[in-house]
Structure 1
Amino acid sequence: MTKSAGSRRHLPSSPFNRPAQAAAPIEIFDVGDRVSHDQFGLGRIIGIEGDNDAVLIDFSGRQGRILSPYAKLTKL
């Protein structure tokens, strides 16, 4: 007796037929929030562009502009 392909379980390590995953929600930042960036280190939000499309950050005297979805940026 054989099983149909639709009833087989998905193996997590398999690259084939992966079920769709929900996108992670984009984090919302406010002016004054302390943040950590994987490459630039610790900083503070000094400005927000648009509807959280980009944030301006002061990294101890060096300023940077990080675009959404902020993959390497975490709120402290």
Structure 2
Amino acid sequence: MTKPASPKRHLPTSPFKAPVTQAPQHFVMGDQVTHDVYGLGRVVGIEDGIAALVDFGSTQERILSPYAKMTKL
């Protein structure tokens, strides 16, 4: 049985570059978005830094920050 690989820690004094972390996206009312699970939608509500309410046509979903599966079109 093997252990799952854990992410490597970056030391601030290391001469190698730290892995780049993607900045969280910011959405505004009316933005057209695509989601990996729900498909195309439009932002209809915002909770600053917490979540976005998105209308996907057949359903409205509250998508929590950091919006890993959602991108702005």
* Percent identity over paired residues: 52
Q: Which runs of 5+ in 2 are unaligned?
A: 1-5, 11-17
Deviation for aligned residue 1:22: 3.0
Question: Looking at CA atoms only, which structure, 1 or 2, has the larger radius of gyration?
Answer: 1
Change (3 A) 1:65 1:17: closer
Q: Distance between the aligned counterparts of 1:61 and 1:30, measured in 2?
A: 21
* TM-score, normalised by the number of residues in structure 2: 0.73
Q: Which runs of 5+ in 1 are unaligned?
A: 1-14
Superposed CA RMSD: 2.0
Q: CA deviation at 1:21?
A: 1.4
Paired positions, count: 61
Q: Structure 1 segments of 4 or more deviating over 2 A?
A: 15-20
Equivalent of 1:32 in 30, 33, 51: 30
Instruction: Give 1:1-76 correspondences, 5 Å limit.
Output: 19=10, 20-49=18-47, 51-76=48-73
How does the TM-score come out when normalised to structure 1? 0.70
- Residue 29 of structure 1 contacts residue 52 of structure 1 at CA under 8 Å; is this kept in 2? no
